[in-house]
Chains A and B, each alone.
Chain A
Amino acid sequence: MTTKKHIISLLSEIADPEIPVITIVELGVVRDIEIITNSSIHLKITPTYSGCPAMKQIEDDVKKKLMENGFTDINIETIYSPAWTTDWITPEAKEKLKAYGIAPPEHTSEDKSWLTGKPKTVQCPQCKSSNTKLISQFGSTACKALYQCQDCLEPFDYFKCI
């Protein structure tokens, strides 16, 4: 019988379509795995953002991966509760984001200071300076905000907290 651990290791080979350095498991979108038989499986995934266009791609990638590994009956369910938060991104993945040039979410989603218009310091992923400025709350994808480093002047994406 296939184990959950095995399925997780398979899914860990699937990169996020928009941020290819982290996997969908590290991102925290896979919420539940139920193995019914060696060929039948039920998965629950949750979207990062409501309109995230990558969700369809993730679903297709998961189906393909599981089919290649002998599953013929694959049921993928999208769940909304509990809602995805940036807290579910693993610490390892946050390091990978930084190395890739995206500033990872700086605080937990419980911390609401970002709502009051006083965002916390975000470190430049290039030169590590804390002298950075918010350019726009909305960046290249739904999950990111646009910042600029005031020291090295590089603009960069910040994975914003939700």
Chain B
Amino acid sequence: MDLKTALFNYTLRLGDTNLILGQRLSEWTGHGPFLEEDLALTNIALDITGAAKSFLEYAASVENKGRTEDDLAYFRNDRQFFNVQLTELPNGDYARTIVRQVFMDCFDFYFYQELSKSKDETLAGIAQKSIKEVTYHLRHSSSWVERFGDGTNESHIKAQNALNELWQFTDELFEMNEVDEVLIKEGIAVDLSIVKTKWDQYITELLNKSTLSKPENVFMQTGSRKGVHTEHLGYILAEMQALPRMYPNAKW
């Protein structure tokens, strides 16, 4: 694989993961459990969608075939998306949304720390920008995990159920393939095994503090690095892409 193809795929993966997570989170807008949380999730969705825009813009410029970030977002099919499957799962109840979020926030927090040292200036710049925002996100989701876990019997059960259901999607965050291999050699991509160690440590400590137990011996899902997804991605894309596909020249 040549460097340019690898960089395009890598940036697309980052863009897609943020785009789909941002889209999912924004479904809470107007439906949050109370006003402040509604605002918080909407703001977080906005930051994440903003990061998606930056990455996809860069992916489009690396590809250099005249596509824009909007073309990439709205005119690709599910098999051409490389977001991790965790991001496309339905929101479920608030505990489930928060557990998914803490997994992603914690990943982003350590991932961006590494990516900010990338030899690719644009990727490093986006990472330096995002890390400031993600720090707030991680504090937010972590404090809710603690409240749910160490809260009432009901909230504890819901948080533990969410953990048990979502754990199988966490391995995918750290999968590396040829794309990573080519780019790590150039000092561009992040060695995800470094992120995994830190992620494990943070999540283990948080769960202990929250009286929640870490699921063990779970079969791990995989596929997104090859464009293989759960059934849920198609529905998100159908909704997200409906307007630009119906009116391909629409401007907003």
Residues of A within 8 A of B (CB): 47, 49-53, 79-85, 109, 115, 117, 135-142, 146, 160, 162
Residues of B close to A52: CB separation below 8 A:
46, 50
The interface stretch among B3-11, B90-98, B127-135 is B127-135
Residues of B close to A136: CB separation below 8 A:
36-37, 39-40
Q: Are A81 and B50 touching (Cβ within 8 A)?
A: no
Closest 6 CB pairs of A and B: A51-B50, A50-B50, A81-B125, A80-B125, A138-B40, A51-B46
Q: Would you list 16 pairs from A and B whose C-beta atoms are within 8 A, ordered by A residue?
A: A47-B50, A49-B50, A50-B50, A50-B129, A50-B133, A80-B54, A80-B129, A109-B132, A115-B135, A115-B139, A136-B36, A138-B42, A138-B44, A138-B140, A146-B36, A146-B39
**Docked complex Cα distance between A140 and B54 (Å):** 23
**Docked complex Cα distance between A83 and B20 (Å):** 24
**Docked complex Cα distance between A123 and B34 (Å):** 26
Q: Are B40 and A81 touching (Cβ within 8 A)?
A: no
Assess A82 versus B128: contact at CB under 8 Å? Given A47-B50, A51-B48, A53-B46. yes
Residue from B48, B128, B135, B143 in contact with A83 in the complex, judged by beta carbons closer than 8 Å: B128
Shortest distance from the beta carbon of B189 to any chain A beta carbon, whole Å = 18
Residue from A50, A85, A115, A160 in contact with B54 in the complex, judged by beta carbons closer than 8 Å: A50
Residues 43-76 of chain B, each 1 if its beta carbon lies under 8 Å from chain A, else 0: 1101111110110000000000000000000000
Shortest distance from the beta carbon of B132 to any chain A beta carbon, whole Å = 4
Q: Are B129 and A137 touching (Cβ within 8 A)?
A: no
Assess A137 versus B128: contact at CB under 8 Å? Given A50-B53, A51-B46, A53-B46. no
Main secondary structure of the interface of B (DSSP, over half): helix
Minimal Cβ-Cβ distance residue in B for A161: B132
Residues of B close to A109: CB separation below 8 A:
132
Residue from A51, A137, A162 in contact with B49 in the complex, judged by beta carbons closer than 8 Å: A51
Main secondary structure of the interface of A (DSSP, over half): loop
Q: B136 within 8 Å of A by Cβ? A: yes
- Additional pairs, 4, CB under 8 Å, beyond known A81-B129, A83-B128, A146-B36: A49-B50, A51-B47, A138-B40, A142-B133
Q: Are B122 and A80 touching (Cβ within 8 A)?
A: yes
Residues B171-227 near A (CB distance < 8 A): none
Minimal Cβ-Cβ distance residue in B for A85: B132
Q: Are B125 and A138 touching (Cβ within 8 A)?
A: no
**Docked complex Cα distance between A136 and B39 (Å):** 9
Residues of A close to B48: CB separation below 8 A:
50-51
Q: Are A49 and B40 touching (Cβ within 8 A)?
A: no
Q: Are A81 and B39 touching (Cβ within 8 A)?
A: no
Residue from A50, A135, A139, A141 in contact with B51 in the complex, judged by beta carbons closer than 8 Å: A50
Q: Are A137 and B140 touching (Cβ within 8 A)?
A: yes
Residue from A80, A117, A137, A141 in contact with B126 in the complex, judged by beta carbons closer than 8 Å: A80
Q: B121 within 8 Å of A by Cβ? A: yes
**Docked complex Cα distance between A81 and B133 (Å):** 15
Residues of A close to B22: CB separation below 8 A:
51
Q: Are B54 and A137 touching (Cβ within 8 A)?
A: no
Assess A138 versus B39: contact at CB under 8 Å? Given A79-B125, A84-B129. yes
Q: Are B129 and A47 touching (Cβ within 8 A)?
A: yes
**Docked complex Cα distance between A115 and B143 (Å):** 12
Q: Are A49 and B36 touching (Cβ within 8 A)?
A: no
Residues 88-129 of chain B, each 1 if its beta carbon lies under 8 Å from chain A, else 0: 000000000000000000000000000000000110111011
**Docked complex Cα distance between A52 and B236 (Å):** 23
Task: Pick the most buried of A79, A80, A141, A146: most chain B CB atoms within 10 A of its CB.
Answer: A80
Residue from A83, A84, A138 in contact with B43 in the complex, judged by beta carbons closer than 8 Å: A138
Task: Pick the most buried of A47, A50, A135, A162: most chain B CB atoms within 10 A of its CB.
Answer: A50
Task: Pick the most buried of B42, B128, B129: most chain A CB atoms within 10 A of its CB.
Answer: B129
**Docked complex Cα distance between A52 and B132 (Å):** 14
